[in-house]
């Protein structure tokens, strides 16, 4: 079915089709069918390099033939059909041989299309048909993805796609995602789902972090203990103990070489290169646990069950280099891509400095200092890789002490390492912690999952510029691209992993693919709801928090009033109700803080431009009782003390949900700003206890705590901030109750306070935070 209609008439046509479909449905109703939908405006992510809208459109349904000549075209056609079947239930026929013809969708290898851009493609849609052309399989693959994105903007099996012409190619050739499978392990199936999603976002490099202090996850045939021993750790605290038997419960996982090959082949079919990371000389404890002779110390070490920066390094014996080369020999057999990542980050040199044997080796090797020894170490890896036709890439610390010119630098501590590397003539991938670390939380919503609560918002990812203006034209050439990194210390489940990845992967896609001058954050937000629909259609569990209506509540329980301030983290318009009903497109639009009488209930949601809610409505109930309690995530950090805020998950129970706490791990401290203590003479504090599972290396002296006065320490409460008078010092029990918590009844003496009406309430626990630390779960003020 073909036609040529001006866009305004498309709607009328759709309405007629809808009526016809409804009549048909009523007449025979063999199976429910969605009406024919009109995709009015393309909402593509990433934005193509060039898109010109045409007139009218093409009607597509299950009867539309697919044409494809040759294997590359057949593959692209099959991929398109498979995606359309999954997202829309659209059952297209098997692609048949043939080129573009009226009424068909054709996939065509055409050497004349974007000969300069190996990933480029052209897509044309007009009343006569659809054609995807590219000079190779990779381009056709991306073109098929774009076409599918248009189809998935409709929800049914029949649609009109808008006439257009797209000429597209990526801005940057490295559009990467790093996934840490060492700290928490993902199944092969989960890895494949990440790869599928990367392909939908036109990302093309999967950097697979396979070894670290907390786990060695790649089978190496020559060294079976790497996975037998290095593949398991005993998690800290209750998560590592069977409550019934008291036996240790290890956390284990590794990929067999067959599984690795399966993942690499799966990625290759998606035109994704896999870059394995084998980390050294630091982040090496799992390997040293398996083979203690690789370490610097004589004492054996366990696979680490703590996070942070750890001191264990590989030693620099010739036998250790032989080990690493033997490992890399198996790695290069498994991973056919150009690059092998050798880590190089956060290798604090204390063990090398303190070891007479390492110092002797330094003299033998003629290296001046430990930085140069690391440089020697990386140089050895580089020589091995280059003799095997591979290129070394490492974190930006590999620049320190000198680096072979062929090495590529991944700039993570900011963009400075990347700038310096490009100036020295190294290739660079930009992946700064400040903008592209996806374990940092994406909103300030209280129910963001565990991670690092300093934020990396969708907008930051979107606005990150991988090619800094400071670079000369020649240096700019060295910027291969951009990469987001997903560390998983705090990400125990695939659902949480997806929460962190989506929708920020969409912003990364556009940062890496779309022309710099075409990037437009407001336009991206307009296109994002269509992307969410695609996510839902493919069961991608994206984060809801950026799309929710969040509330800040300032209440005065004694006046019986509250001011509720609503916000959506992405700035989408909010609508709300006060009568308990679910807000819809007809509900009042939120414009300014709501001044309400208690009790009140605000239900609110953010809406897309077409009036559909972007996430389920949130409910904010405020009454005299709710104003008396602050849960952990509603408390603030204490000013000037207690660096490194983490959102941590409790260590237990072994199975089931665990509590989540915001903790400033250098000095745990919580603040309830401007608490009204006017009629309060007691607090109820719900406190949990968790293992202090962090290595801080050279930051260790900054870890502080108040001294304990009694055997198990105390809860110390101060008013007027953390320098103000002590209101209570409540002794703690030896241990929490069976559920991991205690409820403390804390009488307070407010006599010394200058004001009791709005005082900053500061809560801390005394005593060493090692090996376990108490954490505030919730605080309730108890009126007289």
Binding site for ligand ACM (CB under 6 A): 345-346, 395, 412
The distance of closest approach from Cβ of residue 176 to ligand ACM in the complex, given in angstroms and rounded to an integer, is 13
For 308, residues 6+ apart whose C-beta sits below 8 A from its C-beta are 694, 695, 696, 697
Task: Kindly tell me which of 196 and 345 has the beta carbon lying closer to ligand ACM.
Answer: 345
Whether 723 sits among the annotated catalytic residues: the reply is: no
Q: Which of 450, 558, 542 is nearest to 505 (CA)?
A: 542
C-alpha 613/C-alpha 607 separation (Å) is 4
Exactly one of 142, 271, 283, 499 is catalytic; which is it?
283
Exactly one of 110, 119, 212, 238 is catalytic; which is it?
212
Whether 212 sits among the annotated catalytic residues: the reply is: yes
Task: Kindly tell me which of 61 and 345 has the beta carbon lying closer to ligand ACM.
Answer: 345
The distance of closest approach from Cβ of residue 395 to ligand ACM in the complex, given in angstroms and rounded to an integer, is 5
Q: Which of 522, 461, 489, 464 is nearest to 215 (CA)?
A: 489
Residue 775 parent element (H or E): strand 772-783
Q: Are 324 and 280 in contact (CB under 8 A)?
A: yes
Task: Kindly tell me which of 395 and 705 has the beta carbon lying closer to ligand ACM.
Answer: 395
C-alpha 47/C-alpha 566 separation (Å) is 31
Assigned token pair, 49? 């390099």
Mind giving me the DSSP string for 602-640? EEEEEB-TTS-BSSPPEEEEE-TTGGGEEEGGGSEEPTT
As separate numbers, helices (DSSP H) first and strands (DSSP E) second, the chain gives 18, 40
Task: Kindly tell me which of 206 and 395 has the beta carbon lying closer to ligand ACM.
Answer: 395
The alpha helices in 172-233, defined as continuous H runs, are 188-200, 225-228
In terms of C-beta density within 10 A (0-12 exposed, 13-18 middle, 19 or more buried), how is residue 765 classed?
buried
The distance of closest approach from Cβ of residue 207 to ligand ACM in the complex, given in angstroms and rounded to an integer, is 11
The distance of closest approach from Cβ of residue 349 to ligand ACM in the complex, given in angstroms and rounded to an integer, is 16
Beta bridge partners of 248: 241
C-alpha 301/C-alpha 323 separation (Å) is 18
Q: Are 637 and 645 in contact (CB under 8 A)?
A: yes
The distance of closest approach from Cβ of residue 761 to ligand ACM in the complex, given in angstroms and rounded to an integer, is 35
C-alpha 759/C-alpha 505 separation (Å) is 42
Q: Are 497 and 543 in contact (CB under 8 A)?
A: no
Task: Kindly tell me which of 284 and 775 has the beta carbon lying closer to ligand ACM.
Answer: 284
In the three-class reduction of DSSP (H, G, I as helix; E, B as strand; rest coil), residue 195 is classed as: helix
C-alpha 629/C-alpha 308 separation (Å) is 33
Task: Kindly tell me which of 307 and 572 has the beta carbon lying closer to ligand ACM.
Answer: 307
Q: Which of 535, 615, 612 is nearest to 570 (CA)?
A: 615
Taking each helix axis as running N to C, give the angle between helix 504-513 and helix 521-537, from 0 to 180 degrees, rounded to the nearest 10: 120
Task: Kindly tell me which of 313 and 677 has the beta carbon lying closer to ligand ACM.
Answer: 313
Task: Kindly tell me which of 345 and 554 has the beta carbon lying closer to ligand ACM.
Answer: 345
Residue 143 C-beta-side C-alpha neighbours within 13 Å: 37
Residue nearest to ligand ACM (CB): 345
Task: Kindly tell me which of 330 and 396 has the beta carbon lying closer to ligand ACM.
Answer: 396
Torsion of CA 66, 69, 73, 74, to 10 degrees: 60
Exactly one of 346, 350, 400, 699 is catalytic; which is it?
346
Assigned token pair, 605? 């949601």
C-alpha 394/C-alpha 69 separation (Å) is 42
C-alpha 490/C-alpha 663 separation (Å) is 13
Whether 353 sits among the annotated catalytic residues: the reply is: no
Q: Are 676 and 559 in contact (CB under 8 A)?
A: no
The distance of closest approach from Cβ of residue 183 to ligand ACM in the complex, given in angstroms and rounded to an integer, is 11
The distance of closest approach from Cβ of residue 144 to ligand ACM in the complex, given in angstroms and rounded to an integer, is 34
Assigned token pair, 3? 């036609």
Within 10 angstroms of residue 44's Cβ, the number of other Cβ atoms is 22
C-alpha 527/C-alpha 42 separation (Å) is 8
The distance of closest approach from Cβ of residue 304 to ligand ACM in the complex, given in angstroms and rounded to an integer, is 15
In terms of C-beta density within 10 A (0-12 exposed, 13-18 middle, 19 or more buried), how is residue 77 classed?
buried
C-alpha 763/C-alpha 773 separation (Å) is 13
Taking each helix axis as running N to C, give the angle between helix 370-387 and helix 356-365, from 0 to 180 degrees, rounded to the nearest 10: 60
Task: Kindly tell me which of 322 and 697 has the beta carbon lying closer to ligand ACM.
Answer: 697
The alpha helices in 270-389, defined as continuous H runs, are 285-290, 318-334, 350-354, 356-365, 370-387
Task: Kindly tell me which of 325 and 345 has the beta carbon lying closer to ligand ACM.
Answer: 345
C-alpha 144/C-alpha 50 separation (Å) is 16
The distance of closest approach from Cβ of residue 306 to ligand ACM in the complex, given in angstroms and rounded to an integer, is 15
Task: Kindly tell me which of 345 and 350 has the beta carbon lying closer to ligand ACM.
Answer: 345
The distance of closest approach from Cβ of residue 314 to ligand ACM in the complex, given in angstroms and rounded to an integer, is 17
Residue 165 parent element (H or E): strand 159-168
The distance of closest approach from Cβ of residue 345 to ligand ACM in the complex, given in angstroms and rounded to an integer, is 4
C-alpha 694/C-alpha 50 separation (Å) is 49
The distance of closest approach from Cβ of residue 178 to ligand ACM in the complex, given in angstroms and rounded to an integer, is 9
The distance of closest approach from Cβ of residue 508 to ligand ACM in the complex, given in angstroms and rounded to an integer, is 17
Within 10 angstroms of residue 458's Cβ, the number of other Cβ atoms is 23
Task: Kindly tell me which of 14 and 182 has the beta carbon lying closer to ligand ACM.
Answer: 182
Active site residues: 212, 283, 346
């Amino acid at each position: 079915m073909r036609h040529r209609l001006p866009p305004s008439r498309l709607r009328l046509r759709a309405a007629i089709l809808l009526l016809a479909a409804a009549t048909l449905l009523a007449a025979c109703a063999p199976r429910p069918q969605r009406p024919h939908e009109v995709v009015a405006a393309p909402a593509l992510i990433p934005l193509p390099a060039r898109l010109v809208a045409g007139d009218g459109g093409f009607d597509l349904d299950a009867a539309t033939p697919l044409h494809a000549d040759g294997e590359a075209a057949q593959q692209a056609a099959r991929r398109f059909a498979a995606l359309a079947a999954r997202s829309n239930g659209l059952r297209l026929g098997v692609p048949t041989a043939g080129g573009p013809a009226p009424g068909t969708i054709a996939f065509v290898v055409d050497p004349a299309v974007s000969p300069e851009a190996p990933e480029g493609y052209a897509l044309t849609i007009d009343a006569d048909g659809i054609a995807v052309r590219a000079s190779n399989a990779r381009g056709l693959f991306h073109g098929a993805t774009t076409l599918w994105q248009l189809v998935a903007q409709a929800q049914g099996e029949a649609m009109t796609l808008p006439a257009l012409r797209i000429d597209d190619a990526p801005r940057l050739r490295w559009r990467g995602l790093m996934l840490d499978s060492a700290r928490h392990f993902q199944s092969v199936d989960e890895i494949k789902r990440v790869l599928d999603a990367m392909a939908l976002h036109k990302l093309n490099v999967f950097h697979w972090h396979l070894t670290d202090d907390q786990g060695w996850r790649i089978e190496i045939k020559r060294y079976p203990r790497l996975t037998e021993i290095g593949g398991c750790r005993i998690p800290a605290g209750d998560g590592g103990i069977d409550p019934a038997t008291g036996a240790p419960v290890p956390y284990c996982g590794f990929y067999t070489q067959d599984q690795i090959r399966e993942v690499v082949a799966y990625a290759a079919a998606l035109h994704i290169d896999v870059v394995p990371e084998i980390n050294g000389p630091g982040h090496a404890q799992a390997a040293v646990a398996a083979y203690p002779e690789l370490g610097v110390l004589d004492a054996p070490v366990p696979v680490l069950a703590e996070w942070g920066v750890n001191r264990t390094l590989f030693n620099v014996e010739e036998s250790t280099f032989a080990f690493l080369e033997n490992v890399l020999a198996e790695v290069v057999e498994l991973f056919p891509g150009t690059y092998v990542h050798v880590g190089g980050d956060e290798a604090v040199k204390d063990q090398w400095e303190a070891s007479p044997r390492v110092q002797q080796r330094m003299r033998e090797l003629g290296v001046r200092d430990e930085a140069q020894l690391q440089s020697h170490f990386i140089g050895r890896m580089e020589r091995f890789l280059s003799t095997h036709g591979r290129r070394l890439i490492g974190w930006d610390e590999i620049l320190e002490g000198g680096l072979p010119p062929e090495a590529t630098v991944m700039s993570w501590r900011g963009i400075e390492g990347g700038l310096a590397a490009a100036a020295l003539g190294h290739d660079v991938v930009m992946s700064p912690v400040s903008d592209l670390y996806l374990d940092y939380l994406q909103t300030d919503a209280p129910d963001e999952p565990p991670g690092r609560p300093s934020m990396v918002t969708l907008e930051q990812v979107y606005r990150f510029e991988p090619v800094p203006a400071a670079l000369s034209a020649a240096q700019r050439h060295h910027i291969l691209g951009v990469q987001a990194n997903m560390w998983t210390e705090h990400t125990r489940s695939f659902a949480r992993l997806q929460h962190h990845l989506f929708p920020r992967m969409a912003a990364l896609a556009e940062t890496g693919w779309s022309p710099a001058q075409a990037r437009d954050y407001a336009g991206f937000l307009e296109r994002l709801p269509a992307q969410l629909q695609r996510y839902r259609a493919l069961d991608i569990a994206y984060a809801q928090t950026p799309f929710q209506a969040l509330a800040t509540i300032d209440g005065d329980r004694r006046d019986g009033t509250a001011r509720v301030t609503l916000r959506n983290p992405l700035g989408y318009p909010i609508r709300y109700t006060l009568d308990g009903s679910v807000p819809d497109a007809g509900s009042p639009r939120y414009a300014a803080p709501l001044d309400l009488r208690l009790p009140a209930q605000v239900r609110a949601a953010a809406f897309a431009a077409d009036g559909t809610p972007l996430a389920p409505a949130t409910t904010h109930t405020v009454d005299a009782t709710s104003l008396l309690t602050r849960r952990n995530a509603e408390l603030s950090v204490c000013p000037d003390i207690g660096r490194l805020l983490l959102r941590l998950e409790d260590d237990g129970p072994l199975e089931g949900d665990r509590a989540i706490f915001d903790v400033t791990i250098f000095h745990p401290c919580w603040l309830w700003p401007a608490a009204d203590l006017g009629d309060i003479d007691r607090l109820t504090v719900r406190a949990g206890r968790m293992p202090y599972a962090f290595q801080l290396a050279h930051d260790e002296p900054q870890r502080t705590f108040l001294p304990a006065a009694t055997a198990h320490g105390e809860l110390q409460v101060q008013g007027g901030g953390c320098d103000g008078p002590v209101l209570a010092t409540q002794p703690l029990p030896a241990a929490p109750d069976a559920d991991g918590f205690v409820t403390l009844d804390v009488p307070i003496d407010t006599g010394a306070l200058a004001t009791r009406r709005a005082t900053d309430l500061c809560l801390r626990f005394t005593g060493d935070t090692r090996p376990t630390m108490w954490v505030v779960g919730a605080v309730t003020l108890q009126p007289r």
